[in-house]
């Protein structure tokens, strides 16, 4: 759709808003969020790590790994509740754009490679790697 057509649709919409109410309109660049395929790949990586990670992974869950790698990549902050401390990631993955999500995946792959765990690409046969 051409830009002028989109602008006209927006103007028509705004003109139709109730005149007796105050309105706030925000315009910001559209950012493509991470894809469903990227998200599925991320969670398959966690499953793979748990399978091949050996004794060190005993008792860990995919959610544990997710928090760990978010903190590893973005940093974390310590929160205290009822005297207990917990480190929370500074960012979550659900709002990442495609590039940010790819950077997170790269961090995970590099981190695991440094520990001798190979993470297959999305196109590889995972059965032969496990």
Residue with tokens 């990631």: 89
In a domain, 14, yes or no: no
Q: How many Å apart are CA 26 and CA 120, to the nearest integer?
A: 41
In a domain, 88, yes or no: yes
In a domain, 12, yes or no: no
In a domain, 26, yes or no: no
pLDDT at 109: 95
In a domain, 5, yes or no: no
Which run of H or of E encompasses 78?
A: strand 76-81
Q: What's 80's DSSP letter? A: E
In a domain, 118, yes or no: yes
In a domain, 61, yes or no: yes
- Picking from 116, 115, 114, 98, the residue whose alpha carbon sits closest to that of residue 42 is 98
CA distances from 15 to 4, 10, 12, 65, 114 (A): 16, 9, 5, 49, 58
Q: How many Å apart are CA 93 and CA 104, to the nearest integer?
A: 8
Number of C-beta neighbours around residue 83 at 10 A: 5
How does pLDDT run across 57-83, given as a tens digit for each residue? 889 999 999 999 999 999 999 999 999
CATH number at residue 60: 1.10.3790.10
Backbone angles phi, psi at 27, to 5 degrees: -120, 130
Range of the domain at 107: 32-129
Q: How many domains does the chain have?
A: 1
Q: Across the 130 residues of the chain, what is the mean pLDDT of every consecutive 10-residue run?
A: 87 91 87 86 94 88 97 97 95 92 95 91 65
In a domain, 78, yes or no: yes
pTM, 2 dp: 0.72
Contact 34, 105 (CB under 8 A): no
């Amino acid at each position: 759709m051409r830009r002028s057509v989109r602008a006209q649709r927006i103007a028509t919409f705004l003109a139709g808003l109730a005149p007796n109410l105050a309105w706030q309109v925000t315009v910001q660049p559209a950012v493509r969020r991470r894809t469903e395929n990227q998200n599925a790949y991320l969670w398959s990586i966690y499953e793979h790590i748990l399978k091949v990670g050996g004794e060190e992974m005993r008792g860990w869950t995919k959610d544990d790994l997710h928090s760990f790698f978010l903190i590893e990549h973005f940093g974390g902050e310590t929160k205290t509740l009822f005297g207990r401390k917990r480190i929370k990631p500074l960012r979550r993955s659900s709002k990442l754009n495609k590039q940010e999500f790819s950077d997170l995946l790269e961090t995970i792959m590099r981190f695991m490679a440094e520990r001798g765990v190979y993470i297959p690409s999305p196109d590889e046969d995972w059965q032969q790697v496990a």
